[in-house]
Amino acid sequence: MIDRDTIDRIYASADIVEVINDYVTLKKKGVNYQACCPFHNEKTPSFVVSPSKGLYKCFGCGKGGNAVSFVMEHENITYPEALKIVAKKYGIEVKEKEESEEDKIRQNNRESMFMLNSWASDYFVNILHNTDEGISVGLSYFRQARGFSESTIRKFGLGFCPSGGDKMTQDALRAGYKEEFLLSTGLTLKREEDGRIYDRFRERVMFPVHNVSGRIVAFGGRTLRTDKKVAKYQNSPESEIYSKKNEIYGLFFAKKAIQQQNYAIMVEGYTDVISMHQSGVENVVASSGTSLTTEQIRLLARFTRNITVMYDGDSAGQHASLRGIDMILKEGLNVRVVLLPVEHDPDSFARSHSAEEVREYIKQNSQDFISYKAKLLLADAGDDPIKRSEVVRDIVQSIAEIPDSIQRSFFIKECAQLMSMSEDLLVTEVAKRRVNSLGDKEASDFIQRESRQYWKRREETPQSEENLVIGNLNVGSSLESIERELIYYLVVHGAKNYEFREGRKIIPMNVAETIIDEMEVDSMRFHNEVYNKIYDLYCTARKEGRILMPDELATHSDIEVCDAATDLLFIDDQYAMSEIWTKKDVHTTSESEVLGKGVPKAMQLFKTKFVTGMLAELSARLADNNISEEEELQIISEMTRINRLKTILSKKTNRLTI
């Protein structure tokens, strides 16, 4: 057995475009890649790879999945064998072993930590909005000092940890969470001298940190006290579920906008990200309270190859921006730099400008790294020839980091013109740096990156309407269509909440909870066995006190589950959840309203089909000449009951479809 940590590292490292490119030639089309499907004969490409989702899908034969499942399917091998092939490509050592009790305990502990963080996030939100201290201290800070709207505060899950030393810890213990997990997540600290436990984040406003799939892995807490002896920020420590170098703050909220706009804006802090999002500029992330790391850059590269670094306009901000430039270049990404006016940081600039003004400022003031670095360093060097030569060496080192030879050539030419130097001399210096600093692996990576540069900026892959069926149900829809829509809501929107309107009443509901409750109350199952597997996984997760996330299904070891989840995740959410409803003259203004109509409707239609099937089964039994009189009466009684239920369901369904 391959341990969970190794599997997670394999999935985190695997670039699906790189993996599949080893088997078929992919061509870029918009934000995705396209090719003729390797699993069936075709002349017109219908095989699509989405780098941002880490998934592939053939709209011809229907096969889909992730990097590992592609290797499984293509090579006709087992899941562990496919994991080993992908691991070898990325230099990851795989040690197989039997899953021990210790492994099971460790995995259970990880899930317990995720569950505790989720509880803590809800707890901090509740304190912020529903206690005198939270409202007067935390909420007033977010609203007045930061100018955050209610919707922004809710979107990012901002909260407040109460004063009192150990209030949060004691409330967590009373809620049934164990001290060991409070300590391992860093929510709670223990004094060495007396063993007393207390809250790490007491009396701080709280910023939850989500991983790329949306699970809360850590927290940042800011003090509002003016005492300089108190650290301004406290952050969760490294743990089984949190590694600072692997997380990017705000990426979960920004990844869709980054993919659509094909560039990411990198800022420094939590409030920079939040204010930019509130202004309407959503392709913004931060390096999660740490210096930019290679792992963070590689994670961001799954969504775009273009990064714009935006820091404060003061001298410290300018020099801070230099630290990450070479790292970004080394990973083969394109980097530009935007300096804000001296009086601003991204937070204040976003609060005082509209989204259009922010975008226009970026467009007019972004510089390539050569121009930026040269201007900044030459200003420091003045007329000193030795210092100016050091500036040239610094820029040459940056150029040498670029893996693409065409880009290197372009920047060498620009540097030669800017510095009034011989282009041939700079070419020689760059070549020396590359020979001295690059080993075989980086040379190999360079060749692969270079080949990918030819495929840029093509038109986005159009999706045929036949694949976008969500929201198009009616009473005449097939059982297959109804089950597909219901499982779509579970997989894609299971973690989301919506408002169900019944007359004048508005009832808050959760998608997964609604579907599971409705299925369980009538002991219903899907006709499609793969959907039953997915449904059972959600039921298991519910018993564990959590909601299953889509990426857990897309990377599942069961290939059928993986295929079905991929198929659903490839549906264009925006089109499926708004365009089709608009065509049917159901004019909704929010996702919550769409779910409030779609989920109950799909559930009622499914129940109607389900009871119709039960009636058909009972009718067949009634036609059996060998049944006893007692059985016949029982069947008739049951059919009467089910017919009443069918009548009730039909009335509800008619109301929902009018």
DSSP 169-211: HHHHHHTT--HHHHHHTTSEEE-TTT--EEETTTTEEEEEEE-
Question: In the structure, what pLDDT confidence band is assigned to residue 475 with cuts at 50, 70 and 90?
Answer: low
Predicted local distance difference test score (pLDDT) of residue 49: 92
- Residue 8 is encoded by which pair of tokens? 């997670």
Q: What is the amino acid identity at position 180? A: E
- Residue 313 is encoded by which pair of tokens? 């306009």
Reduced to 3 states (helix: H, G, I; strand: E, B; else coil), residue 460 is coil
Report which DSSP code applies to 22: T
CA separation for the pair 185, 178 (Å, rounded): 11
Task: Check if 4-89 and 102-242 are the same fold.
Answer: no
> What's the topology of domain 102-242?
DNA primase DNAg catalytic core, N-terminal domain (3.90.980)
Q: CA angle 484-476-620, nearest 5°? A: 90
Question: What's CA 535's distance to the chain center, in Å?
Answer: 22
Calculate the average pLDDT of the chain: 81
Closest CA to 245 of 207, 184, 300, 201: 300
57: enclosing H helix or E strand: strand 55-58
Q: Residue holding tokens 């019944």?
A: 502
- Residue 15 is encoded by which pair of tokens? 């670039």
Q: Residue holding tokens 């995740």?
A: 569
pTM: 0.64
User: Does the pLDDT of residue 289 top 70, yes or no?
Assistant: no
Predicted local distance difference test score (pLDDT) of residue 582: 42
Beta-bridge partners for 160: 205
Report which DSSP code applies to 96: B
Which burial class, exposed, middle or buried, applies to 422 when counting CB atoms under 10 A from its CB (0-12, 13-18, 19+)? exposed
pLDDT digits (tens, 9 = 90+) for 69-82: 998 888 777 888 88
Predicted local distance difference test score (pLDDT) of residue 3: 78
Long-range contacts of 234-239 (CB under 8 A, 24+ apart): 234/200, 234/201, 234/204, 235/289, 236/185, 236/186, 236/187, 236/200, 236/209, 237/186, 239/113, 239/184, 239/185, 239/186
Predicted local distance difference test score (pLDDT) of residue 618: 72
Predicted local distance difference test score (pLDDT) of residue 375: 77
The more confident residue out of 275 and 577 is: 275
Q: What is the amino acid identity at position 425? A: L
Predicted local distance difference test score (pLDDT) of residue 318: 64
The more confident residue out of 393 and 234 is: 234
Predicted local distance difference test score (pLDDT) of residue 180: 94
DSSP 403-419: --HHHHHHHHHHHHHHH
We find that the CATH architecture of domain 4-89 is Alpha-Beta Complex (3.90)
CA separation for the pair 449, 18 (Å, rounded): 9
Predicted local distance difference test score (pLDDT) of residue 321: 64
Question: What's CA 170's distance to the chain center, in Å?
Answer: 32
Residues in CB range of 317: below 8 A, 6 or more apart? 311, 339, 340, 345
Predicted local distance difference test score (pLDDT) of residue 449: 45
User: Does the pLDDT of residue 648 top 70, yes or no?
Assistant: no
CA separation for the pair 114, 217 (Å, rounded): 7
Instruction: Please compute the mean of the pLDDT values over residues 39-64 and round it to a whole number.
Output: 86
- Residue 310 is encoded by which pair of tokens? 């935006």
Question: In the structure, what pLDDT confidence band is assigned to residue 118 with cuts at 50, 70 and 90?
Answer: very high
Predicted local distance difference test score (pLDDT) of residue 242: 92
Q: What is the amino acid identity at position 533? A: K
In this structure, how many other beta carbons lie within 10 angstroms of the beta carbon of residue 634?
14
User: Does the pLDDT of residue 458 top 80, yes or no?
Assistant: no
Question: What Rg, from alpha-carbon coordinates, does the chain have?
Answer: 28
CA separation for the pair 589, 582 (Å, rounded): 10
Which of 88-97, 234-243, 453-462 has the lowest average pLDDT? 453-462
The more confident residue out of 466 and 253 is: 253
Residues in CB range of 538: below 8 A, 6 or more apart? 490, 494, 512, 515, 516, 547, 548
Reduced to 3 states (helix: H, G, I; strand: E, B; else coil), residue 468 is coil
Predicted local distance difference test score (pLDDT) of residue 224: 92
Long-range contacts of 254-259 (CB under 8 A, 24+ apart): 254/282, 254/283, 254/284, 254/285, 255/52, 255/212, 255/303, 256/52, 256/282, 257/282, 257/283, 258/52, 258/283, 258/285, 258/300, 258/303, 258/304, 259/31, 259/52, 259/303, 259/304
Which burial class, exposed, middle or buried, applies to 105 when counting CB atoms under 10 A from its CB (0-12, 13-18, 19+)? exposed
Beta-bridge partners for 218: 209
Q: C-alpha dihedral over 446, 451, 455, 461, to 10 degrees? A: -90
What whole-number percentage of the chain has pLDDT above 90?
A: 29
User: Does the pLDDT of residue 585 top 50, yes or no?
Assistant: no
266 phi and psi angles, rounded to 5 deg = -100, 120
The more confident residue out of 655 and 522 is: 522
434 phi and psi angles, rounded to 5 deg = -70, -40
Residue 278 near residue 152, CB atoms below 8 Å: yes
The more confident residue out of 531 and 523 is: 531
Predicted local distance difference test score (pLDDT) of residue 587: 45
pLDDT digits (tens, 9 = 90+) for 192-219: 888 899 999 999 999 999 988 788 999 9
Angle in degrees, 0-180, between the axes of helices 385-401 and 423-437, rounded to the nearest 10? 60
pLDDT digits (tens, 9 = 90+) for 377-426: 777 777 777 877 887 888 888 888 888 778 888 888 888 887 777 777 78
Predicted local distance difference test score (pLDDT) of residue 178: 95
What is each CA distance from 454 to 449, 450, 457, 653, in whole angstroms? 10, 8, 10, 53
Closest CA to 214 of 493, 500, 522, 532: 493
Which of 231-245, 327-341, 367-381, 609-623 has the lowest average pLDDT? 609-623
Domain ranges of the chain: 4-89, 102-242, 466-657
CA separation for the pair 131, 138 (Å, rounded): 10
Task: Kindly give the pairing relationship between strand 264-267 and strand 284-286.
Answer: parallel
Exposure string over 561-576, b if 16+ CB within 10 A, otherwise e: bbbbbbbbbbbeeeeb
pLDDT digits (tens, 9 = 90+) for 291-306: 788 889 988 887 788 9
CA separation for the pair 270, 142 (Å, rounded): 12
Question: In the structure, what pLDDT confidence band is assigned to residue 520 with cuts at 50, 70 and 90?
Answer: confident
User: Does the pLDDT of residue 472 top 80, yes or no?
Assistant: no
